[in-house]
Amino acid sequence: MFFIMGITDGRKDFDFSQTVICDSCGKYGRYQVFMLYTVLSLFFIPTFKWNRRYYVQMSCCGIVYELGPEIGKRIAAGEELQIKPQDLTNVSQGRGFFKRCRNCGYETAEDFDYCPKCGLRF
C-alpha cells in the first residue's frame, strides 16, 4: 500500500466589498479580503487546513493589512460587516507583498530569492 500526501500553501479570496478612502494614498479604493493557509492533502484531496491568516489588500495602491482572526472568520462565514481601521495591522507598503515567478506563476508571501517550484530567481 502506498500513500500520496503533501503540504502546500493556499489562498482563498472572499467576495467582500467595502469602499473606503485609502489612508496611504488618499484615493477611493476597495478592500479585497483573502485568507492564506497551509493544507495537508491526501491523494490530492485537501483534508486539513491550519495556520489560517486573514489579509486585506487595497485595490487602489496595493497596500496589505493583516485582519484580526475573529473578523476574518466572520467574513469567511459570509457575515455582512464593516471593517474598521482598528481591525487592520499594516503588513506591507504597496505592491511588494507577494512575489510571483515569471516562469511558472507560483505566488508566495515568503522572502525567497528563488522559486520553490521551478528554481528560477524571482
List, in sequence order, every beta strand (DSSP E) within 4-116: 5-13, 19-21, 28-42, 45-58, 64-67, 88-92, 99-100, 107-108
pLDDT digits (tens, 9 = 90+) for 10-62: 999 999 989 999 888 888 999 999 999 999 999 888 899 999 999 999 988 88
- Beta strands 19-21 and 64-67 are unpaired
pLDDT digits (tens, 9 = 90+) for 56-83: 999 888 889 999 999 999 999 999 999 9
Over range 97-105, report the average pLDDT. 75
- Beta strands 107-108 and 88-92 are unpaired
Q: What per-residue confidence (pLDDT) applies to 96?
A: 47
Q: What per-residue confidence (pLDDT) applies to 25?
A: 81
Q: For the whole prediction, is pTM greater than 0.95? A: no
- Read off φ and ψ for residue 13, nearest 5 degrees: -90, 140
